[in-house]
Amino acid sequence: MASISPQLLGLKKSFGYGDRLGLATRGHLEVNNKYDFAPIFAQQSIREMSRTGRTPADVMKAAVDALKAANYQGAWGADADHLKTENDVAPTSTAGFTFYTIDPSEFVNDQADAQPFGTLMAAVEELYSEGVFTTLDWDDRFLGEKFAAGGTVYRFDRETLYRAAGKYARALAHCEKMAAAIASANGYGGYEIEISVDETASPTSPLEHLFIALELKRRGIRIVSLAPRFIGEFEKGIDYRGDLEEFETTLKQHVAIAERYGPYKISVHSGSDKFSIYPILGRVCGNLLHVKTAGTSYLEALRTVFRVNPGLFREILEYCGERFAEDRRSYHISTTDEEIREALKKSGSGSERLFFEERPVRQLLHVTFGSVLSEGRNAAGRPFREALLETLEKHSAEHRQALEAHFDRHLGALSQG
């Protein structure tokens, strides 16, 4: 009998498949069966749900229906992604989600790295006066202590300690509130927590990661994975941009800290299409790895539409060009308005490579998904959402094949490690 309820996946290496349209799970399943990653088939953030007009129940139903149809019998997870407020918890719990990603990025102080130390100290004392934390005993717990992980001995001095505290203390206090809400909503059992600090301006240093790990333990927050902000650039829809050797060096430090002071998995967000670092991730992380993808499955849906209904694709593309300047604001991407204008000039005779392999149009299609699915209409007034779903359902085999080929590249490269 098919496993129709999501389960806890623990410390087995895992892969999250985002599905913005509710039609991708069958394709995800086809490729996942070839590899030994624990899958998360239901995964969507509250922000994405609002942009796509879906509910937590819709996301869960789409995954369950596809798994039932395939008579899937393995374990799988369901990720309530990037939860920012306590009010986000109850709807996802009611829908049956088992994996909760807390996103406290709004409470991270990105200026802490560069603030004058006196200014930073005043800010930390202000947090104490606000009740964000109830004791200033960090000196006793951290200064003069040695913390070993992976052959490296870490030490805090007063400045590095208070910069870490000034940067993350308010975020960790928020995580404690969120963890309590998750526990309450789930009857204090049957859930896993991930914490994500990846959507911040500055990287999470290994020493800052250590501070986070120790503070989470002190606050009694047990996590299954942590998504730090890595060095380099993790832009949406394209490969990693940065020094691979430096990335591997710091990744080893992050993994060693996660193993020694958890254990928990290292989670890679904006993990779609980061092919150059996949072998490094697989080799260094082993089982302590979670990779999260989302928009890349939507792009494979559009790739399918390009192949089987090019007229619809070009209408969507033109609309995306009109929306780019506004929709790009909530994303960290390098594509410029001028690059989009130049790319669209070629769109009349554009190849599949132009639209789906080259950065400008790929990022254009990625960041405008919400507008396309919630507001966009063709020349006859029909919502793009309806036309997209109709096309993909009519050509479901082609859609599954596109997804399988695309994620074979992902999981195959991760498995090379």
Residue 136 has a pLDDT of 66
d(CA 417, CA 413): 7
Task: Bin 131: left if φ > 0, else alpha if -120 < ψ < 50, else beta.
Answer: left
- One-letter identity of residue 245: E
What CA–CA distance (Å, rounded) separates 398 from 390? 13
**Count of positions (residues) in the chain:** 417
Residue 99 lies in a domain: yes
Whether residue 198 is contained in a domain is answered as yes
Query: Are both 41 and 188 inside the same structural domain?
Result: yes
Residues 6+ apart with CB under 8 A from 4: 64, 67, 68
- The whole-number mean pLDDT for each consecutive block of 10 residues of the chain, a chain of 417 residues, reads 80 97 98 97 96 96 97 96 97 97 96 92 85 76 95 96 94 96 92 96 96 95 98 96 98 98 97 98 98 97 97 97 96 95 87 95 97 96 98 98 98 93
Domain that holds residue 262: 14-110+144-295+407-416
> Pick the catalytic residue: 19, 79, 81, 273?
81
228 and 318 in a common domain: no
Question: How far is C-alpha 261 from the chain's CA centre?
Answer: 23
Which pLDDT belongs to residue 2?
43
Cα(402)–Cα(23) distance, rounded to whole angstroms?
13
Q: For residue 138, what pLDDT is reported? A: 81
What letter would DSSP give residue 195?
Answer: E
pLDDT in tens, 157-213: 999 999 999 999 999 999 999 999 999 999 888 999 999 999 899 999 999 999 999
Based on the fold, state whether residues 323 and 373 are members of the same structural domain.
yes
Among residues 176, 194, 208, 235, which one is catalytic?
194
Type of residue found at 221: I
| Cα-trace Rg, the chain | 22
Q: Does 105 map to a domain?
A: yes
Q: Is 28 found in the same domain as 154?
A: yes
- Identify the pLDDT of residue 4: 87
Confirm whether 316 is domain-assigned: yes
CB-based burial label for 354 (10 Å; 0-12, 13-18, 19+):
middle
- 273 and 232, same structural domain? yes
Contact of 178 with 186, CB cutoff 8 Å: no
Q: pTM for the full model?
A: 0.96
Instruction: Domain count for the chain, please give it.
Output: 2
Amino acid code (one letter) for 147 = F
Residue 127 lies inside a defined structural domain of this protein? no
Burial profile 166-177: b = 16 or more Cβ within 10 angstroms, e = fewer = bbbbbbbbbbbe
Q: In terms of domains, do 93 and 177 share one?
A: yes
Contact between 102 and 108 under an 8 Å Cβ cutoff? The reply is: no
Please check whether residues 201 and 325 belong to one and the same domain: no
Answer whether residue 363 is part of any domain: yes
Residues 269 and 226 in one domain: yes
Asked if residue 317 and residue 243 are part of one domain, the reply reads no
Contact 288, 260 (CB under 8 A): no
- CATH number, domain of 411, equals 3.20.20.70
Decide: 54 and 61 in contact? Cβ < 8 Å: no
Whether 260 and 316 map to the same domain: the answer is: no
Q: Tens digit of pLDDT for each residue in 15-32?
A: 999 999 999 999 999 999
Residues 163 and 18 in one domain: yes
The crossing angle, in degrees rounded to 10, of helices 278-285 and 396-416 is 60
DSSP string of 162-176, one letter each residue: HHHHHHHHHHHHHHH
Active site residue 81: yes
Angle ∠(255,258,261) on CA atoms, nearest 5: 140
Terminal-to-terminal C-alpha distance of the chain: 34
Assess if residue 399 is contained within a domain. no
Closest CA to 404 of 28, 16, 38: 28
Report the C-alpha gap between 113 and 261 in whole angstroms: 24
Same domain, 268 and 334: no
Tell me how far apart the alpha carbons of residues 24 and 177 are, in angstroms, rounded to a whole number: 34
For residue 40, give every residue at least 6 positions away whose Cβ sits within 8 Å of its Cβ, in sequence order, or none. 9, 14, 15, 16, 17, 76, 77, 78, 79, 99
Q: Is residue 129 one of the residues assigned to a domain? A: no
Tell how strand 152-154 and strand 147-149 pair up: antiparallel
DSSP class of residue 331? Answer: S
pLDDT of residue 1: 37
Compute the Cα dihedral for 210, 215, 216, 217 and give only its sign. positive
Distance CA 353, CA 338 (A): 19
How far is CA 80 from each of CA 23, 98, 206, 328, 414, rounded to the nearest angstrom? 18, 8, 27, 23, 24
Token pair in block for residue 130: 């606000």
pLDDT exceeding 90 applies to what percent of the chain? Answer: 90
Question: Smallest Cα–Cα separation from 202: which of 107, 102, 109?
Answer: 109
Rounded-to-integer distance, Cα 152 and Cα 342, Å: 49
